[in-house]
Structures are given as structure tokens and as C-alpha cells.
Structure 1
Amino acid sequence: METPHSAVATAQASGMKRELGWYASFSVAFGFVSIATGIFTTYGAVLNTSGARGIWAWPIAVVGQLAVAAIFGALAARMPISGYAYQWVSRLANPILGWLMGWISFAFLIIVVVAVDYTIAATILPELFGYTSTPQNNWVITAVVMLLQAILVALSTRATNKVNAVAVTIQIIGMIGLTVLLFVVGGIAGRLDFANLFATAPLPSTDYWDFGGLSDVGPFPLAFLLGAFTIVGFESAANLAEETKDPARVIPKAMIQAVLSLGVLGMLFLIAITALAGDTAELAASATPVAAVITSVLGPVVGKILLVLVVVSIFSCGLVITLSGTRLVWAMSRDERFPGWQLLRKVNASRGTPVASSVFVFVVTQVILAIFAQSSDALFVLFSAATLLPAMIYAGTILMYAVKRRSLPASQGFSLGKWEIPVLVLAAVWLVYELAIFRDDSFAQPRLYVGFMILIGAVYLAYLLVRRGVKGMTMPDMVDVDKVLDVAPPTHK
């Protein structure tokens, strides 16, 4: 049986350079969330399941996710270490639950990057270049995009974050400019129809607010998927804690600011697109509804230039997810708790990146893409699974925080103070409501994916327990890991 790791031995294996500042941290959180990605991916589904009125679920989802981000910020200020929820739950509850949280996080990251990159192929490029989207060309394009992202992540963390910072800057400027242009040009042309904001077409208005039964969900509750899918991944900033300067102060601020700014900008963009939608029932039948509205209002030249900026934004989102996925695999491998950890824990001495983990994540995501790419509703299945999994991660982490909040290490830079209990209750209520939506029969395939991945994880966890025993899964003491990392000499494998 193997002996437990000490705090220093586990933390010592980093070898990462602490060189990321506030804007890099903010860019990671903002880039992962990416309102361009989320809205382009899910807007069509919302029109078909909830009508245009469904956009009003967005601000509610933003408030709920903001509460989650605040709790995660409190955790990041106490345990600034790569692996975020995996590391936190391992210490808040026990290493076995922490391992399961890490595995679920891995299952989320490998499918959400496919969903994000698939959006480029399925919802933007056909409108940009005027061709018909098919499962086959979507598959090829998505595979190439993921390859480029994996190469960047493997080559250099600094280069990856520079690309992401530039892309996030483009996204902020581009989305603000696009939203303003839509309002101005649409207003001048007399095309803004704010009555659309409350339309239910192509759905009837009867029973619109119904919560549903045991295996079905009403129209408006389904609209929460728009915000629930989009406003996730802000915690990715915490996954680069060991590469961030003063992470206990920088990361919580970056996460909360990212959710707030994305929430406001996203709502304005949704109002603009919906007010300019024209016949919402007709638009719901389009495979590229958001892109179609943009080119229709702004013209083919300006519209396509802005769509190029959107492609850059979505590529950035996929890049950050790939980076986050490789760091999670590396963090779990460093603790000898991931399949193939002997190879995956290695950090390339010259590049300072976990190249093996980057290659591994790329191969697994290609397998996921191959499984789902032939489906006619691939995008819906992908983004649904990529919404269910983070909700499970958030709920598990929030529960552990509620139970163990009094035994946490002292905060190093961020505290909720007297707002802790109200924020905790709000986050819990929101996540219970969100998870309840997935009882609908339309989510059978996403639930199957989640169940299959959990089964694989359970088999490997059983192997670990048989080989090492429960004591062999013990994590380092819940100390100031950040200080341990700063004093421990870096090692390269």
C-alpha cells in the first residue's frame, strides 16, 4: 500500500511559473464563459423550446451563477491551487468525494470544448461562407479547430494566455460594438420590434409558465439553459492559481467581474437580436438564427466582419477550456489519482507545460467528437451535457462549503463577511432549480453520457481503493498551499 503524500511533496511537483496578472485571470474567466459562444450555441434551441420570451430567464440565471461565483471566490481565496473543485472537495469533505468531483469536472471539460468548437462549424461558418452545414463537414472543421487549440496549449502557457487576452479584448470590443450597431442600425431602419421580447412563437402561450411534471418541463423553465450553459467556466481562473500572481486576491475578483460584465452585455445583446428577429417562428427554423439576424440587419460585408470576430471569441473560449482541462488532468496526475498519471504528471522542462496531458485531452475530445458528430441534433446534446455537468460540480462544491465553511483556512484576500449565508442560500436554491430542469425526457442522451462517464470513473476509483486503500487516497493537510508552492523547489519530469 502506498503512503499518503505530504503537503510539500504534492505541491512541490508544480514547476509552473507564477506570471499571470489580473487581466490574464479575468481573460481566462471571461474567455471560458464567452457570451458569443453561449448565445450563438443555444439561442436557436431557446426559440424552439421557449419562444423569444425565454430570454428573460437570462438575468435570473446570471444572479444565480453570480452567487456561485462568489462562493467559489471565497474558496479560491483560501485554497489557491490548480484543480479547483477537485482540490477543494478533497479537503472540505474527503479525498474520495474530491476524486469524484475531479472526474466529473474532467467529463465536463472534455465535452464542453467539443460543444464550443462545434458551434463555429455549425452556426457561424455556414452563414459566413454561404454553404450548407452537414454532420460531416461540422466534424472535420471542429476536429481541426481543436487540434490548433491543443497545439497552442502544449507549446506555451504564456503564448496561450496572450492569444486569449487578445481574443477577449476583441470579444469585449466586438460584442459591445456589435450590440450598439444592431440597436442603431435597426432603429434607423425601423426594424426594432420590442413586442418580440414577449412573444412565445413558435410555441402557444397556453401553459407557458408551467413547471412541468415528473418527466417533462414547461417552456419557460427550459429557457434557463441559455444562461446555465453560457455563464459557466468562470472558475477556470482558479485552475491557474499556481501560475497567477497573488491568486487569493486576484482570482475571486476576476471571476465575479467576469460574470457581472458578461451578464449585462449578454442581456443587451439578447434584447437587440430578439427585437430584430422579425418573425420569431420563422427564425426558429433557421440553423444559424443569430448569424442570420446580424447579416440581415448590418448587411453582408459588415455582418460577416463581425462574425469573424465572433469566431475569434469562440476559438478563445475553446482554447481556455482546453487549457483548463489539461491543468485538471495534470493536477490529478500529480497526486497520482488519474489513469496514466505516471506520464500525465510530467511538465516539459523547456516549455513549462504538461505536454502529455495536453495530448491526452486532445485525443479524448476527438473521441467525444466522433461519437456525437453524426447526430442530427449533436449541438443540443453537447450543450445539454455541458450544462448538466457543471451544475453537478457547483452543487457538490456548494454543499461541501455549507457543511465545512467554519473549518476553512483563513482568507488571504477575499471574504463574503455578513453576506455569506444569504449568498450561500441563493446559490443552493438556484442550483436545485437548475438540476430539476434535467428531468425532462429531451435530456435522455446527456444523462446517458453523464452516467457512462461516472461509471468509468467509479471503476477506476474502485481500482485505486483496492490498490491503495482509503488511507492511500489521503490528500495533503488543508494548509496554505500557495505558500508551500512558493517555497518548494520546482521539479521537472
Structure 2
Amino acid sequence: MSQGNPALETEHRTLRREFNFGSVFAFAFAFISPIVALYGIFGIAVAEAGPSFWWGFLIVFGGQFLVALVFATLVSRWPIEGSVYQWATRLIGSAYGWFAGWFYICTLVIAMTTVALGAAGFIANILGVRGAGATQVALIAFVLLIVGTIINLLGRGVLKVFMVASIIAEIFGSIGLGIWLLIAHRTNSITILFDQGESVGASDGYFTLGGPFLLAVVFIGFSFVGFESAGAIAEEVHEPRKNLPKAVLFSLTIISLIVMFSSLAIILAMPENASQLPGYAEDPVHAVLTALLGSQFAIPIQVLFSIGFIASFLALQTSASRLIWAKARDGALPFSRSLSVLTKKQSQPIGPIIITTVIGTALLLMSNVAENIYEVMVSFTSGGFYLSFLFPVLGFVVALFKKRWVSGPFSLGVFTKPVAVAALIWVVLELVNIAWPRAVNGSFLLDWSVIIGVGTLALVGALVYASVRKRIENVETSAVVIDAPKSDASRADRS
């Protein structure tokens, strides 16, 4: 039960539906962002596994598309703010759903900070700060964190403008750049994709569990997440049962195609002596683009990259704040009553937005003193997303085998069970791959960071859950508005 009065004032519990299909697609598109998906991991992946890492994109896309089909099915039945948390709760129960939401919140906030750090690297290049140190990067990321928070607080209208700006940046910064590189700067044969790590001295045990290729797949796993974010803002979308499944599937598919194309273009354009270029070790993308295009063109391109990263940050922060709000509405967090309040004018959850900023700031302080923190945050974020995905996917499989599932408007029909089982197998395998303690960081704590991090969050989560367990609402029977009919009467889903 909610703290205090179980029925909070309507104006404090109802979000405005201001997103149509185009804007919710743009939101999911910006969340994943081809620019972030590629340039956030390209340097790490190519350094660890060479050009052959590109094949990992096909593997990860195939697995994630199975998950996207499951999520499209789930959001069609339950288009409720909070996505992963809501689906897991309704499939298994409140405790199960609570931990799904807990890990998802933590993952989103860490991912938000990771993207801010990634953007800070590009902005440092734009400002002419070469070889920026950890303190400089963290400071730039902090400024982005504050500016992004202000933008999010201004309302959905400003947010949608940045989502559109992101798509424009993607067209020029990913597709346009890729076409130009292939036309004017291609230097390598397609056979370079089959070098199996030889170009970076990583051919030994290339395809083993602890080998370079599967390590690259870990980082690629970070690239193809976020399609579920459309469900995170479900109660702010018009005709959610119709629009959300399409947004989930289209955003993942289109972004995957853009990422694979852009990555291929860069690989085929990389000079033979790319590793010897100035600054290559710190930022391979910047070094290659500067060598190929000259600094006068490389800088504008990185401005487009920065726009993509900032839009992704905004979408991540929005998703995290909406999930915190959704849990608070159910009385499932400390200070739930305060966190569930929305502003009267914009219907914005200010409390949750500010909390994400505070936590992000703390993470940036950690990044200033810890080595290899960016790589660790990418790995941990990947692990966090797949762990969060595991909850609803496993719950869906259980519901199918117990014959408790009733489909919404979007359904896979006879393929539902095979797709769900295949998605579950994929999520488990990728989660194991991500968490596998490879000896690549020269530190026990860093090599085991995903397992240690998940264990720590589980312990903290258990303590938080124990403090709110008695008052958690039974969300399976709570009156949560799902559709927004044209009439003033709203329909509640009590399934």
C-alpha cells in the first residue's frame, strides 16, 4: 500500500500522453543511438579483437531481435510506465518484479553516466583538449549531466526536439560519413573482416570463452540495448498497444543496420598503419577520422557525435526517472510519496530526475580516481541490461509453459514459445559471456567487476526491499491507466 493516503491526488499520478509513434520511435532511437552504439565501443572492440569483431554485430542483433519480439508481445498487453519492472511483476509477482526494476534502475543510471563520459571525450576533442585526463573528462561529463538534467526538467517538448536533432545527427554522422568513407577513402579489402585478430596480435584462442572475439561481443552487447525504453514511457504514448510494439522492433532493426554499415565503412577505410596514428591508443575513431578527413572535417563530425551522445543521455535519464516514479507510485521505494509526485504544469517527476543526477555525479567522482573505469562501466552496463532483461524473459517463458499467458493485440502466434525459449537461451549465454572474469584489466577487482557489482547491488537491493516490502501495492490489481481514449473516461487494466 502507498504511504499515507493510498489514493494520491489524480494530478500527481497521471502522466500526459504527448508522444505519438514518431516521437516514441525517436525516443527509443535516441536511447540506443547508432552513434553511441558504434563510437562508444568501436575503439575498445577493434583494439581487443581487430576488424573481425564486426561479425559480433550480427550475432548480438540476432539474439536481441528475439528479445525485442518478446518485449513487443509484453508491451502490447501491458503498456505501463516502467517496462521491465511492470512486466516482471505481472508475470511472476511483486518481489520478482521489484528486483527486476531495481537492477534496471541501477543499470540505467550507470549507463547514463557512461554515455556522459563518452560524450565528454568527443567534446574535449572539439575544444582542442588532446589527451584529456580523467579529471578533465569527468568535469566535462558533469557539465553535461547538469545541462541534460535542466533540459529534461523543461518538459517533453524540449526533449522531443533533441530526439529529432539526434536523428538528424545520425543521418549525417553515421550514414553520411559511412557513404563518404566508402566512396573516397576505402583502402582495405572485405577480407580484412576475416583476420581473426592477427592485426592486433590477438589470434591465439580467438573464439574461446575468454578470447578476444567474445570479449568484443561483450562490448557490442552494450550497443543493442534500449529498444525496451519505449515501454519505459508507455503511459505517455498515444495508442500504446498499437505504437509501442512497432517502436520496439523498428528502433532495434534500423539502428542495427546503421551501426553495422557505419562500422564496416570505418574498418574498410582504416589506414594500414592506423595503430601508429597520433592519439590512436586513446581514441581510434578521432585518430582515423583526422588522418582521413583532416581536422577541419573531423571536428564537425565529432559535433554530430556529441549531439547523438547527449540525446542518448537524455533518453536514459528519462527512462530511469520514469522507472523510479513508477515504483514510487506503487509504494515500492523509500520516500515513495514524495517521489511519485508530478509537477502540475508539466506532469514531470522532478524528484526522480534529480536523484539520477545526484547518483550520476557520485559515479563521475569515482571515474576520476579509478583506472579503466570507462571500460568497466561499459561491461557492467551491458551485464546490467541483460540481467534486467532476464527477469521478464524468464517470467514470460514460465507463464507460457504454465499456460497462463493471454496475448495482447501483438502476438507471435504459434511461434511465441520457440521465440521466447530462444530469447531466454540468448540472454543467459550473453550474460555469462559478459560476467566471465577475463584477465584483461590486470586487476582482480576489475576482472570480476560485473559479478562483484551485481552481488553488491543485490545486497543493497535486499536491504531496500526489506524496508518497503510490507507496503508494496499489489500492482497486478491496481488501477493503472493503460489506454487514453478520446473520451474523458479512462480505461484501467486490471489483468
1:43 partner amino acid: F
Note closer, same or farther for the CA distance 1:5–1:29 as it changes in structure 2 (3 Å cut).
Answer: farther
Name which of 224, 237, 240 aligns with 1:244: 237
Return the alpha-carbon distance in structure 2 between the equivalents of residues 198 and 10 of structure 1: 61
Name which of 409, 425, 429 aligns with 2:425: 429
Q: What's 1:464 paired with? A: 468
Return the alpha-carbon distance in structure 1 between the equivalents of residues 10 and 240 of structure 2: 15
Name which of 311, 328, 332 aligns with 2:327: 332
Alpha-carbon shift at residue 315 of structure 1 (Å)? 0.5
Gaps of 5+ in 1: 212-216
1:148 partner amino acid: V
- 1:184-263 matches, cutoff 5 A: 184-187=183-186, 191-199=187-195, 200=197, 201-211=199-209, 217-263=210-256
Helix, strand or coil at the partner of 2:222: helix
Return the alpha-carbon distance in structure 1 between the equivalents of residues 10 and 78 of structure 2: 12
Q: What's 2:102 paired with? A: 103
Note closer, same or farther for the CA distance 1:308–1:2 as it changes in structure 2 (3 Å cut).
Answer: closer
Q: 1:134-180 CA deviation, whole Å, 9 max, x = no partner?
A: 00001100001011111111121222122212222332343111111
Query: Alignment identity in percent?
Result: 25
Helix, strand or coil at the partner of 2:30: helix
Q: 1:236-290 CA deviation, whole Å, 9 max, x = no partner?
A: 1111111101111111111111111111111111111112222365479521111
Return the alpha-carbon distance in structure 1 between the equivalents of residues 138 and 2 of structure 2: 43
Helix, strand or coil at the partner of 1:16: coil
Return the alpha-carbon distance in structure 1 between the equivalents of residues 249 and 152 of structure 2: 25
Note closer, same or farther for the CA distance 1:4–1:86 as it changes in structure 2 (3 Å cut).
Answer: farther
2:190 partner amino acid: F
- 1:360-371 matches, cutoff 5 A: 360-371=355-366
Q: What's 1:214 paired with? A: none
2:206 partner amino acid: Y
Return the alpha-carbon distance in structure 1 between the equivalents of residues 11 and 71 of structure 2: 24
- 1:436-447 matches, cutoff 5 A: 436-437=432-433, 438-441=435-438, 442=440, 443-447=447-451
- Indicate the structure with greater helix content: 1
Alpha-carbon shift at residue 206 of structure 1 (Å)? 2.8
**Is 1:354 equivalent to 2:349 in the alignment?**
yes
Helix, strand or coil at the partner of 2:448: helix
Q: Which region of structure 1 is more displaced relative to structure 2, 218-227 or 481-490? A: 481-490
Helix, strand or coil at the partner of 2:482: helix
Helix, strand or coil at the partner of 1:482: strand
TM-score by length of 1: 0.90
Q: What's 1:482 paired with? A: 482
**Is 1:289 equivalent to 2:284 in the alignment?**
yes
Note closer, same or farther for the CA distance 1:400–1:12 as it changes in structure 2 (3 Å cut).
Answer: farther
Q: What's 1:301 paired with? A: 296
1:475 partner amino acid: V
Return the alpha-carbon distance in structure 2 between the equivalents of residues 359 and 436 of structure 1: 33
Return the alpha-carbon distance in structure 1 between the equivalents of residues 129 and 184 of structure 2: 23
Alpha-carbon shift at residue 4 of structure 1 (Å)? 12
Helix, strand or coil at the partner of 1:234: coil
Higher RCO (Cα < 8 Å, 6 or more apart): 1
TM-score by length of 2: 0.90
Contact 2:79 2:482 in 1 (8 A): yes
Q: 1:168-213 CA deviation, whole Å, 9 max, x = no partner?
A: 23323431111111111114xxx234343223122242321222xx
Q: Which region of structure 1 is more displaced relative to structure 2, 367-376 or 383-392? A: 367-376
Q: What's 2:444 paired with? A: none
Return the alpha-carbon distance in structure 1 between the equivalents of residues 380 and 252 of structure 2: 21
- 1:38-437 matches, cutoff 5 A: 38-123=37-122, 125-126=124-125, 129-187=128-186, 191-199=187-195, 200=197, 201-211=199-209, 217-278=210-271, 279=273, 281-282=275-276, 286-405=281-400, 406-412=403-409, 414-437=410-433
Return the alpha-carbon distance in structure 2 between the equivalents of residues 477 and 305 of structure 1: 52
Contact 1:76 1:84 in 2 (8 A): yes
Return the alpha-carbon distance in structure 2 between the equivalents of residues 29 and 363 of structure 1: 24
Alpha-carbon shift at residue 408 of structure 1 (Å)? 3.7
**Superposed CA RMSD:** 2.6
Helix, strand or coil at the partner of 1:165: helix
Q: 1:63-121 CA deviation, whole Å, 9 max, x = no partner?
A: 11111111101100000010111111111101001111111011101100011110012
Note closer, same or farther for the CA distance 1:2–1:312 as it changes in structure 2 (3 Å cut).
Answer: closer
Return the alpha-carbon distance in structure 2 between the equivalents of residues 84 and 430 of structure 1: 20
Gaps of 5+ in 2: 441-446
Return the alpha-carbon distance in structure 1 between the equivalents of residues 386 and 5 of structure 2: 30
Return the alpha-carbon distance in structure 1 between the equivalents of residues 352 and 489 of structure 2: 25
